[in-house]
Chains A and B, each alone.
Chain A
Amino acid sequence: VKTNSKLEKIWDSGGFIVTSECGPPRGADGDIVRKKGEFLRGVVDGVNVTDNQTSVVRMSSLSACAILKGMGLEPILQMVCRDRNRIALQSDVLGAAALGINNMLCLSGDHQKFGDHPQGKNVYDIDSMQLIQMVCRMREEGKFLGGDEIKGKPVIFIGAAENPFADPFEIRAARLGKKVKAGCQFIQTQCIYNLEKFSRWMQMVCDRGLHEKCAILAGVTPMKSVGMARYMKNNVPGMDVPDEMIERMKGTPKEKQAEEGIKICVESIQKLREIPGVRGIHIMAIEWEEKVAEIVKAAGLLPRPEV
């Protein structure tokens, strides 16, 4: 089934996809979402809306997606298995489709230990792989997981995340293979700083022919400072920041570090575009949405295609 997703249309037309993300606020002010969305208008093809990322309570992803949709943007609903069981997940998928949200990203979710409610109980009724499979079946067969018929199939383009830098490295491409088999159509990767390792992973992905079945979007995050680079290296699980990246930031005067971070990001995008199989870029400018336009422009990715 073809969806109305802009991402799917660009993928079908052989184009290069650019996405970014918008982290919802820690409060009920919808104008913050609107402001962040405005920064991304005309700059990217789709906007991920994170789902209580790092297990910190925020405005719901679905609500923020609805706000962005209302602005004429193309939201990508992130949905984690940490907080909802199969009943709630399917209910939200139906709701998203009803609101005209064309894309979703199926994730396990960060463990609640990292968030502001470490005392909470997690759900993990199903995992991200099973979530992909469930949404795919809802769309293709019009069936709930329980087997009942859905009246009004949710026509949603299905994506997932993959971290090429997590262990065990040797099964990371196989893991992506399972996601593709489950029905995943696009992948956004973890932030890439170690391009050499990413290339090796990409080679494994291409060897399995996965790049032809699924759009691989390479993830990038601009560093604001050497402090952020160090934090990412030492404190964010599954993040691979090479020492030379830290050194380069360290060797830059403090007031110029943000600029240097953007420069590194743009250089990375240019290199990533050349890696066989890469079909797009996912820019995660954490609480720095206003810089996305500058990055996309500097990387030579403007204007975005009209589809």
Chain B
Amino acid sequence: MDGFQLRTNRARNFAVIAWICIIILLYFFFTVRYLLEYLGVGLQ
């Protein structure tokens, strides 16, 4: 089974979108937190 149809399943569309947004948001969270620590702006 190779692939899935996106137009036919609203739940799958939602899962795909949620996955992308969560990964990108988490990346921003971790990277900004790390950069602030690196620049000496502590987040307590």
- Do A and B assemble together? no
User: Which positions in B face A, CB cutoff 8 Å?
Assistant: none
User: Which positions in A face B, CB cutoff 8 Å?
Assistant: none
